[in-house]
Amino acid sequence: MPVATTDSTSLAHARPRRPVHRAVVTGGAGFLGSHLCTALLDRGAEVVCLDSFLTGSPANVAHLLGRPGFHLQRCDLTDFVHVPGPVDLVLHLASPASPVDYLQLPIETLKVGSIGTAHALGLAKDKGARFLLASTSEVYGDPQVHPQPESYWGHVNPVGPRGVYDEAKRFAEAITTAYRSTHGVDTAIVRIFNTYGPRMRPRDGRAIPTFVRQALAGEPVTVAGTGEQTRSVCFVDDLVEGVLGLAASGHPGPMNIGNPEEMTVLRIAQDVIAATGSSSTVEHVGRPVDDPEVRRPDITLARTELGWEPRVAWADGLRRTVEWFAQELSVSA
Residue 285 in contact with residue 223, Cβ under 8 Å? yes
CA distance 294 to 87: 39
**Buried residues in 69-80 as b, exposed as e (16+ CB within 10 A):** ebebeebbbbee
Using alpha carbons, list the distances in angstroms from residue 206 to 120, 168, 172, 211, 330. 27, 19, 23, 9, 20
Domain range annotation of the chain: 20-199+235-259+296-311
Is 165 an active-site residue? yes
Asked if residue 149 has pLDDT above 50, the reply is yes
Active-site hit among 102, 140, 165, 179: 165
Mean of all residue pLDDT scores within the chain: 93
Asked if residue 3 has pLDDT above 90, the reply is no
> What predicted TM-score, i.e. pTM, was given to this entire model?
0.92
Question: What does the pLDDT look like over 154-171, one tens digit per residue?
Answer: 999 999 989 999 999 999
Model confidence band, residue 80 (pLDDT cutoffs 50, 70, 90): confident
Distance of CA 38 to the CA centre of its chain: 16
Model confidence band, residue 132 (pLDDT cutoffs 50, 70, 90): very high
pLDDT of residue 205: 87
Average pLDDT over residues 91-111: 94
Range scoring the smallest mean pLDDT among 128-137, 176-185, 282-291, 298-307: 282-291
Question: What does the pLDDT look like over 272-323, one tens digit per residue?
Answer: 999 999 999 999 999 888 788 888 999 999 999 999 999 999 999 999 999 9
Average pLDDT over residues 67-78: 97
CATH superfamily of 20-199+235-259+296-311: NAD(P)-binding Rossmann-like Domain (3.40.50.720)
Asked if residue 9 has pLDDT above 80, the reply is no
Average pLDDT over residues 13-28: 81
Model confidence band, residue 333 (pLDDT cutoffs 50, 70, 90): low
